[in-house]
Amino acid sequence: MAGQVQRQTGVALWRQIADRIRQAISAGAYDETGMVPPETVLALQFGVNRHTVRSAIAALAQEGIVRAVQGRGTLIERKERLNFPITKRTRFTAGIGEQAREMRGLLLSYSEEKADAEVARGLKIRPGEPVIRMETVRKADGSPVSCATAWFPAGRFGGMPDAYKRTESITKAFAELGLPDYVRATTEITAVHADEADTAALELSPGAILLITKAVNTDLEGVPVQYAISRFAADRVQFTIEN
């Protein structure tokens, strides 16, 4: 974990240090002991006062990642970073099935609306045609992993919100609606700072990073069936592309 923290950047030192420690934990840097190094050691490493390190650790404790025990040290409670393979058969639930015990997709809201230019391009329909929009949040073992906004052609998949609410899975909902299989056509990936809504929904600290995917799924004939913009907590996930 080389490299010093930066001052006067608008990001407090304690937050930078919290981010770095969180990353080191998820990279397995402290697996040998299962503990974060002592505060005095970290303060020396980062070139800051011990109190500043304490602020960082307090933030991580608040997130449930570590637990400080007086006299012993700071224990690591949780270190997951979920991996999402992106392939022709990209599935949210199945993709991380072995990495978490319980995967759930929750429907926050939905509505029927007219496709704007972006959605129309994704679904290969004309702007103004009716689409179903769903806002969802997806959780692994109860911890929120991503928010998604998904659009479906209204004519073919009008029953999607109801089916999704019942099955908590896009794949199962598609199956119920007569589409047993579908494939990932394109995926775009960018990264931005989280805004307020996503910070709340994903239980992030402000200034946190989001990985954004814009994906088009099609049926086996290549007809688009879903356009989705998903927002992932960058410190909890990574994507893998296998060619």
Instruction: Give the binding site for its own copies (CB under 8 A).
Output: 3-6, 8-12, 14-16, 18-20, 23, 59, 81, 86-88, 90, 183-193, 195-197, 199, 205-207, 209-211, 234-235, 237-243
Give the shortest CB-158-to-DNA separation in angstroms.
44
Separation CA 112–CA 212 (nearest Å): 23
Which two three-digit tokens encode residue 79? 């270190």
Residue 190 CA from chain centroid, whole number:
13
Options 21, 22, 25, 36; binder of DNA; rule CB under 7 A = 36
Q: According to the binding rule CB under 7 A, does residue 70 interact with DNA?
A: yes
Gyration radius (Cα) of the chain, Å: 21
Provide the minimum distance between the beta carbon of 79 and DNA in the complex, in angstroms, as a whole number: 17
Please report the sign of the dihedral spanned by the C-alpha atoms of residue 93, residue 86, residue 19, residue 192.
negative
Residue with tokens 């692994």: 140
Region of 9-17, 77-85, 164-172, 212-220 interacting with DNA (CB under 7 A):
9-17
Considering beta carbons, is residue 41 or 58 the nearer one to its own copies? 58
Question: For residues 194 and 211, what is the distance between their CA atoms, to the nearest angstrom?
Answer: 9
Using CB distances below 5 to 8 A depending on partner kind, what does residue 48 bind out of its own copies, DNA, none? DNA
Pick the closest to residue 154 from 221, 225, 243 (CA basis). Answer: 225
Applying CB under 7 A, which residues contact DNA?
A: 7-10, 12-15, 36, 38-40, 47-49, 51-52, 54-55, 57, 68-74
